[in-house]
Every structure is written in C-alpha cells, then in structure tokens.
Amino acid sequence: MPSAWTIEFEQDAIRQLNQLDRVVRRRLLDFVENRIVSGGDPRQLGKPLKGKMAGLWSYRVGDYRLVCRLEDVPMLLAVVSVAHRREVYR
C-alpha cells in the first residue's frame, strides 16, 4: 500500500546527513522510507518533543535521532535535523 505521506529534507538535515558515514546514512534513510512513512501514522513510531522543540517529533535509529515536523495537510514529513543523540537536542 503506497503511503500518502511525502518526505522532505530541510537543507540542514541534508548537510548533516552528508557528513555521516555512508552506512549510517543508508540506515537512517531506510528507516524514514520503510518504517516511518510506509507504516501508516508516523506518530506511532516517534515521540513528541517538549520545550523549545515543542511541535517536532523525534525518531530513534540506534545512536542517532531524526527530528521531524509533521503536517497533516498536506501529509508531509519534513526532516529538520539528523544528529547523534548527544548532540541533536542542543
């Protein structure tokens, strides 16, 4: 069943992805494409963030985190940030 969710990467996220090891980058992209978007509701896999990052969602992929913005209309998952867990929430 094809997903109605569209994936979009913001410039910062693209830059951060390009700085990662090729294997880690592939794992993160596979997670976005195969788990988050094709799984139906992306809110089932992530957790909502609080504080200064309220309104964004975090997805855990090993030691890395994907910070995303979800928009219901149109069904858009925008990857805002990609970083190691010790750096992503700064």
Q: So what's the pLDDT on residue 40?
A: 79
Q: What is the pTM of this model?
A: 0.90
Q: So what's the pLDDT on residue 1?
A: 45
Mean pLDDT of 50-64: 96
Domain boundaries, the chain: 6-84
Mean pLDDT of 8-20: 96
Span 6-84 CATH architecture: 2-Layer Sandwich (3.30)
How sure is the predictor about 89, in pLDDT bands with cuts at 50, 70 and 90?
confident
| Whether pLDDT at 16 is above 50 | yes
| Whether pLDDT at 39 is above 80 | no
One-letter-per-residue 3-state SS of the chain: CCCCCEEEECHHHHHHHHCCCHHHHHHHHHHHHHHHHCCCCHHHCCEECCHHHCCEEEEEECCEEEEEEEECCCCEEEEEEEEECCCCCC
